[in-house]
Amino acid sequence: MYTWVAHYVKTCETCQRVKPSGHASAPLQSLPVPADCWKSMSLDFVFGLPADDKGNIGILVFVCRLSKMVHLAPVRDKVTGKQAAQLFLDSVFRYHGLPETIVSDRDPRFTGAFWDTLFQLLGTKLVMSTADHPQTDGQMERVNRVLEDTLRSISAYG
């Protein structure tokens, strides 16, 4: 079975277009393991996807760092920090409550005054990943890669 799948992926035109080639990556800097589900989560944007019927070309991705459960929210390319905060409240807070920590990259939408104020009011700590080192939050990068590959593969047939 492995041999058949490997051969298929190597000869599948869509797979070749959407799958990145394997590359060596820097060692990950470990984050502490959360004590419970949704006590710590990661969030990130994925852009550059084919537009949906509402003009969304991106996705705001929320991942529980313990269970790896994912919530997705479609976004337009000009999404603001305030809109992202509302999506967080609608997509995560509503179902799982307030996490103790949130891990994100240094996107300006996550470092602005709105997020600082929101986290202060809610008592949540925002942990920024190391600059120019996306591997700090390797699970988020992996989820984003699988999501992008899947959506690009599906849209290639649609």
Confidence band for 63, pLDDT divided at 50, 70 and 90: very high
**Residue 150 lies inside a defined structural domain of this protein:** yes
Q: What is the mean pLDDT of residues 78-82?
A: 86
Domain count, the chain: 1
Q: Is residue 116 part of a domain?
A: yes
Which CATH number is 62's domain given? 3.30.420.10
User: Is 10 inside any structural domain?
Assistant: no
Which has the minimum average pLDDT: 19-23, 58-62, 111-115? 19-23
Classify residue 18: in a domain, yes or no.
no
The pLDDT tens digits of the residues spanning 65-74 come to 999 999 999 9
- Report whether pLDDT(106) > 90: no
Distance from chain centroid for Cα 23? 20
Residue 96 belongs to what domain range? 34-157
How much is the pTM? 0.65
Any domain includes 1: no
DSSP assignment of the chain: -HHHHHHHHHH-HHHHHHSPPP---PPP-PPPPPSSTTSEEEEEEE--PPP-TT---EEEEEEETTT--EEEEEE-TT--HHHHHHHHIIIIIHHH---SEEEE---HHHHSHHHHHHHHHHT-EEEEPPTT-GGGGHHHHHHHHHHHHHHHHHHHH-
- Is residue 108 included in any domain, yes or no? yes
Backbone angles phi, psi at 44, to 5 degrees: -160, 160
- Decide if 9 is inside a domain: no
Does 49 reside within a domain?
A: yes
- Whole-number Å distance between alpha carbons of 114 and 80: 10
Residue 38, classified by CB atoms within 10 Å of its CB into exposed (0-12), middle (13-18) or buried (19+), is buried
Banded pLDDT at 112 (limits 50, 70, 90) = confident
